[in-house]
């Protein structure tokens, strides 16, 4: 019995060694193992994970921006570290993601403090949007089921700040509001299935929802149809105020959501756009980049 068990272990180790030696032909895996400073006997137990990490590193080599990320989790690379003669694999933010997180942190602090009195009213290019927001605020108590706003325009012109100022004012009147950066909303929902239903219920039913920076996400059928489509359908059916900010026009967003040239994808993207049009007025704001 012991001899059979010993032979099985020997065969498994031989198979692991063979797979590992083949994997070492990839120079990235060889460099990783060298840099980690671990023996081949340990490394060969993690061959498939090392291959995954090497593939993600290859994706990062010529990646021009966060928007073009090809890795499993946008903006992160799967990478190992040594812990007590074991390898632990986790997701490490790439340079684009780190830069994005720093900007978001600064931006979020500004938006959390935003009030309508802080809005710069001297920029004539923003006057139409400011008047729309003031009208929404003035009429909200007697009509909380007003249409929201799809506000698109150039990067950094203050789209999120303006709508955040409105929502912050309304939250002082006990109106429940939520500002969700759309790429993070999707990632958060995907990463924690235990709270998925509760979070979806919240996004579907909060009094006013701002879906910030739609079009910046990596499009998947799941994110488009199961998440965005479901949230918008519920809010449309219940006449709940919904806002969007984007660097894309509605027409450009439809192309972005289509995923492919297949007619079925086009129909699904158009369905999302029709829901947005039902929920929102469409307005453009082209102004100075205030994040310079």
Go through the domains of the chain in sequence order and give each one's CATH number.
2-93 (no CATH), 97-285 (3.40.50.300)
At 14 the pLDDT is 81
CB environment 96-115: b (16+ within 10 A), e (fewer): bbeebeeebeebeebbeebe
Give backbone dihedrals phi and psi of 31, rounded to 5 degrees, phi first: -65, -40
Question: Looking at residue 75, what is its pLDDT?
Answer: 83
Percent residues over pLDDT 70 in the chain:
90
pLDDT at 41: 86
DSSP 8-state code for residue 281: E
113 or 46: whose pLDDT is higher?
Answer: 46
**Cα(24)–Cα(10) distance, rounded to whole angstroms?**
21
Cβ atoms within 10 A of the Cβ of 28, count?
A: 17
Q: Is residue 192 over pLDDT 50?
A: yes
Is residue 146 pLDDT above 90, yes or no?
yes
| Secondary structure E strands in the chain | 76-83, 86-93, 148-153, 177-181, 208-212, 241-246, 280-285
Write phi, then psi, for 72 (nearest 5 degrees).
-60, -45
The Cα-based distances of 204 to 111, 148, 196 in angstroms read 22, 15, 12
Query: Residue 6's pLDDT is what?
Result: 54
Q: What is the pTM of this model?
A: 0.65
CB 89 within 8 A of CB 100: no
Q: Which segment of 140-154, 177-191, 197-211 scores lowest on mean pLDDT?
A: 177-191
DSSP state of 195: G
pLDDT at site 11: 63
Tokens representing 2 are: 């012991």
Residue 66, pLDDT > 90, answer: no
- Cα separation, 292 vs 289, in Å, equals 6
């Amino acid at each position: 019995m012991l001899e059979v068990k010993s032979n099985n272990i020997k065969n498994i180790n031989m198979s692991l060694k063979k797979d590992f030696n083949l994997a070492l032909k990839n120079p990235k895996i060889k460099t990783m193992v060298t840099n980690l400073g671990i023996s081949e006997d340990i490394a060969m137990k993690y061959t498939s994970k090392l291959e995954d990490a090497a593939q993600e590193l290859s994706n990062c080599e010529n990646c021009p921006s966060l928007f073009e990320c090809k890795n499993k989790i946008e903006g992160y690379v799967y990478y190992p570290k040594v812990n007590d003669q074991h390898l632990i694999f986790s997701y490490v933010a790439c340079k684009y993601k780190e830069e994005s997180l720093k900007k978001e942190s600064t931006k979020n602090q500004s938006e959390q403090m935003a009030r309508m009195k802080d809005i710069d009213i001297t920029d004539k290019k923003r006057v139409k949007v400011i008047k729309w927001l003031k009208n929404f605020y003035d009429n909200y108590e007697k009509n909380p089921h007003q249409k929201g706003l799809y506000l698109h325009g150039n990067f950094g012109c203050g789209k999120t700040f303006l709508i955040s100022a409105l929502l912050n004012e309304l939250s002082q009147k006990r109106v429940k509001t939520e500002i969700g950066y759309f790429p993070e909303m999707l990632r958060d929902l995907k990463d924690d299935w235990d709270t998925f239903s509760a979070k979806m219920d919240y996004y579907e039913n909060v009094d006013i929802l701002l879906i910030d920076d739609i079009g910046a996400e990596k499009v998947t059928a799941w994110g488009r149809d199961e998440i965005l489509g479901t949230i918008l359908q519920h809010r449309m059916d219940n006449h709940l105020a919904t806002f969007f900010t984007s660097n894309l026009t509605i027409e450009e967003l439809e192309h972005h959501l289509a995923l492919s040239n297949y007619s079925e994808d086009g129909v699904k993207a158009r369905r999302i756009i029709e829901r947005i049009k039902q929920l929102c007025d469409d307005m453009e704001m082209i102004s100075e980049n205030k994040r310079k």
